[in-house]
């Protein structure tokens, strides 16, 4: 079979201008967005002003439009928007970056009216706006100094009152390219705007009013960060509500700056609320949700102790966190911080703690992640009558990993899965139960040998006979088995 030719710039140039023109013409007739890009490329031969006129017409139409975009036309609409952004960044951006940035900012400002006209649950149109923001940031570095000084005013005029967060996003990508004096002037103007907005918010009787004060505040922090003004950054963070403070982020910045005692103060600050999560093992063990940031906070606090020279406190903190959570990453941090040759005793101690834990699902998950499959098998055997087949995600994965070298442990988990499915008469899961039973058939020789040494574990033949006796009336299951 002939190998498909790769499409590269060199290969395309070998086709010659006439063939390429034919291909472009054919595609332009089929694809409206591509046709607009070709038209703009042709206009570029007359100069950037000609390209700008085409883009301006598209932007004007976009700003005036109010009709809703039906779902079957959403993709073509997205492609048209993407073509406008690509044309602005590529064709106009190369020849006239000032004109291109102005039009990209103008395009970004259309986002509120556009999102009101189309269902963007897929996020594809948002991706186009994200690309426009990225292109504006990239082109900012090509602007002359006097134009860079004008850019904050242009961004605030176009996006200052918008509520989708694009003001902050646009500011973030251009700030790194702006001179320090421009940033300081922008920060002073933002401080004034924030103060005025907060005063207006306090006078308002509407509980659900949108306020731009938070956006102004966030941009001020980005500016402070870019200027290397850590104290300014911290002062702005202090002004936030405690629920919104990034205490860990500030602690990390202080640690990088060598201000260790201040970093310790920030990392230890209580932060009300916060996102909480539970792992599959947590759910199975009946634990309460824990803060997403808890592991990161503990790890950072221990690192700060190390920087302060308080090694024993750092080790104690890491070990205590591991004991509480059975977190494999925390144990790795603990072991890596130990002096040479001490890790072997520490691991023996840690594995012993996990083996004795009554959080059997978390312990099993730990041994699978480390990995220590031999100890995972030992844990399975030690709690052979306790495994709940309803925890199928964890048990199925563990059984699949154990079946090669630890047949009896895998057998116990597969039996738990089968028993749960049949006891609950979960007919939709019968195909899974049949698959597990076939795996037990394959494991029978190895598992029966080990089963004779373990109290309470019957042979495969006896287990099958027990299934037939208890669930013999589940004909659809046995039909699948046979």
Q: On the CB side of 200, how many CA atoms lie within 13 Å of its CA?
A: 11
- The residue ranges of every structural domain in the chain are 16-178, 245-359, 372-482
Report the distance separating Cα 32 and Cα 402, nearest Å. Answer: 57
Residue 33 has a pLDDT of 64
- The length of the chain is 482
Beta bridge partners of 276: 291
* Ranges of the chain with pLDDT below 50: 1-2
DSSP 164: S
Q: Is the peptide bond before 370 cis (omega within 30 degrees of 0)?
A: no
pLDDT at residue 103, rounded to an integer: 97
Residue 239 CA: distances (Å) to CA of 192, 242, 245, 253, 264: 15, 9, 9, 17, 19
- pLDDT, residue 37, reads 65
CATH architecture type of domain 245-359: Alpha Horseshoe (1.25)
Residue 397 CA, distance from chain mean position: 24
pTM over 0.75: yes
pLDDT value of position 471? 96
Give the pLDDT confidence of 252-308 residue by residue, as tens digits: 999 999 999 999 999 999 877 788 999 999 999 999 999 999 999 999 999 999 999
pLDDT tens sequence across 102-132: 999 999 999 999 999 999 999 999 999 999 9
Q: Is 269 left (phi over 0), alpha (psi -120 to 50) or beta?
A: beta
């Amino acid at each position: 079979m002939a190998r498909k030719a790769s499409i590269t710039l060199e290969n395309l140039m070998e086709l010659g201008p006439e063939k390429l023109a034919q291909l472009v013409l054919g595609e332009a007739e089929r694809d409206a967005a591509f046709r607009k890009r070709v038209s703009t490329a042709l206009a570029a031969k007359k100069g950037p002003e000609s390209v700008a006129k085409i883009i301006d017409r598209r932007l004007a139409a976009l700003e005036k439009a109010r009709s809703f975009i039906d779902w079957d036309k959403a993709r073509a609409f997205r492609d048209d928007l993407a073509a406008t952004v690509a044309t602005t960044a590529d064709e106009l951006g190369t020849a006239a970056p000032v004109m291109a940035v102005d039009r990209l900012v103008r395009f970004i400002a259309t986002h509120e009216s556009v999102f009101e006209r189309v269902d963007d649950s897929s996020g594809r149109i948002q991706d186009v706006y994200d690309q426009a923001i990225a292109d504006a940031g990239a082109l900012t570095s090509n602007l002359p100094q006097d134009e860079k000084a004008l850019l904050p005013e242009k961004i605030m005029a176009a996006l200052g009152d918008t509520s989708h967060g694009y003001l902050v996003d646009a500011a973030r990508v251009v700030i790194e390219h702006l001179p320090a004096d421009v940033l300081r002037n922008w920060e002073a103007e933002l401080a004034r705007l924030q103060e005025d907005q907060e005063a207006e918010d306090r006078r308002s009787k509407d509980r659900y009013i949108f306020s731009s004060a938070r956006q102004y505040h966030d941009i001020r922090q980005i500016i402070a960060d870019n200027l290397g003004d850590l104290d300014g950054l911290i002062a702005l963070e202090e002004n936030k509500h405690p629920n919104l403070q990034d205490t860990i982020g500030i602690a990390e910045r202080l640690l990088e700056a060598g201000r260790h005692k201040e970093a310790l103060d920030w990392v230890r600050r209580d932060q009300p609320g916060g996102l909480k999560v539970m792992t599959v093992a947590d759910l199975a063990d009946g634990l309460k949700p824990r803060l997403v940031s808890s592991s990161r906070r503990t790890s950072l606090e221990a690192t700060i102790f190390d920087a302060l020279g308080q090694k024993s406190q750092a080790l104690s903190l890491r070990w205590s966190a591991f004991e509480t959570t059975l977190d494999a990453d925390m144990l790795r941090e603990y072991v890596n911080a130990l002096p040479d040759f001490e890790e072997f005793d520490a691991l023996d101690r840690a594995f012993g703690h996990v083996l004795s834990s009554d959080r059997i699902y978390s312990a099993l998950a730990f041994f699978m992640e480390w990995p220590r499959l031999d100890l995972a098998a030992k844990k399975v055997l030690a709690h052979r009558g306790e495994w709940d087949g309803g925890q199928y995600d964890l048990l199925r994965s563990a059984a699949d990993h154990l079946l090669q070298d630890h047949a009896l442990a895998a057998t116990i988990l597969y039996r738990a899965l089968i028993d749960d499915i049949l006891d609950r008469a979960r007919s939709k899961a019968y195909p899974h139960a049949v698959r597990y039973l076939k795996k037990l058939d394959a494991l029978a020789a190895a598992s029966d040998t080990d089963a004779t040494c373990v109290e309470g574990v019957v042979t495969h033949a006896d287990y099958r006979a027990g299934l037939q006796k208890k669930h013999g009336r589940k004909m659809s299951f046995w039909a699948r088995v046979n």
